[in-house]
């Protein structure tokens, strides 16, 4: 039996995003604790040795500020993905991570690209455009929330800072847009009026009962006759003697 397409909260909505963010912090902690440097595992465009960074790059960050700036939006946006789009969440997350990384590998500058910002841009673009494409009030409202919180990210899909991987941002944004267009399935059912439902019966509609077969309004509905009361009514009187009165 399939579950109805309704929005409901479950612990996994925040559990999986939390584990994803925790994995990035564990990698960063291990680098500091054991003096390791995983930067070489990032994406190096158009080199076969650098393609492994498609999977590893999002978990590697160059500084605490870099890690924090990606952790908060990644948690918020992935939680939104898991809540509103639970029927396609893993496909969007996995395909989005891989495809945005591959596109960065194809178009990026000859430098090492690390960080989860590409995934963040992919999620932001997907959540915005999918909500608009769905034409559903709840999803459109969440799209506007995404714009309100992270609309400023759009500036960084352009080469305004040589220290920032704008190619990764642009790749994530484009992949998010493509995924929003490709996945046609809606996470929740559109609200239907009573007359749009399959089990709708016009003859039982209280509103339609106010009109005759020609569509004319009936000012007064016919009142059903009530069966007459039985004429044989038995009345029983009980007499009590007044002690104060004379007999």
Mean pLDDT (the chain) is 85
State how far the alpha carbon of 191 is from the alpha carbons of 2, 6, 56, 142, in Å: 18, 11, 42, 17
Q: Which parts of the chain fold into alpha helices (H)?
A: 12-33, 53-56, 64-84, 89-107, 117-134, 137-150, 166-182
For residue 236, the 8-state DSSP code is -
What is the predicted pLDDT for the residue at 240?
Answer: 67
In terms of pTM, does the model score above 0.75?
yes
Domain ranges in the chain are: 12-182
Q: List, in order, residues 6 or more apart from 196 with CB less than 8 Å away.
A: none
Lowest model confidence (mean pLDDT) among 17-26, 153-162, 173-182, 190-199:
190-199
How many helices and strands (H and E) does the chain possess? 7, 0
- How many residues are listed for the chain in this entry? 247
**CA distances from residue 44 to 13, 97, 110 in whole angstroms, order as listed:** 33, 16, 6
Q: CATH number of the domain at 12-182, please?
A: 1.20.1540.10
pLDDT digits 0-9 by tens, 21-74: 999 999 999 999 999 999 999 999 999 999 999 999 999 999 999 999 999 999
């Amino acid at each position: 039996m399939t579950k109805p397409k309704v929005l409901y909260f479950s612990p996994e909505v925040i559990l999986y995003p939390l584990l994803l963010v925790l994995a990035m912090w564990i990698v960063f902690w291990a680098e500091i604790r054991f003096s390791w440097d995983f930067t070489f595992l990032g994406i190096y465009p158009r080199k076969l040795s650098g393609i492994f960074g498609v999977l590893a790059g999002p978990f590697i960050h160059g500084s605490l500020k870099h890690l924090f700036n990606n952790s908060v939006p990644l948690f918020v946006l992935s939680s939104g993905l898991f809540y509103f789009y639970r029927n396609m969440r893993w496909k969007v997350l996995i395909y989005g991570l891989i495809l945005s990384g591959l596109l960065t590998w194809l178009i990026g500058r000859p430098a090492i690209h690390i960080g989860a910002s590409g995934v963040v841009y992919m999620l932001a673009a997907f959540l915005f455009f999918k909500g608009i494409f769905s034409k559903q009030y709840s999803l459109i409202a969440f799209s506007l929330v995404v714009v309100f919180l992270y609309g400023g990210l759009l500036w960084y899909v352009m080469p305004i800072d040589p220290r920032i991987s704008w190619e990764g941002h642009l790749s994530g944004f484009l992949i998010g847009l493509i995924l929003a267009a490709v996945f046609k399935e809606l996470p929740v059912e559109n609200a239907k009026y009573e007359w749009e439902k399959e089990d709708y019966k016009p003859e039982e509609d209280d509103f339609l009962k106010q009109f005759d077969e020609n569509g004319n309004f009936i000012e007064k509905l016919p009142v059903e006759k009530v069966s007459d009361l039985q004429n044989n009514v038995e009345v029983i009187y009980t007499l009590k003697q007044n002690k104060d009165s004379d007999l």
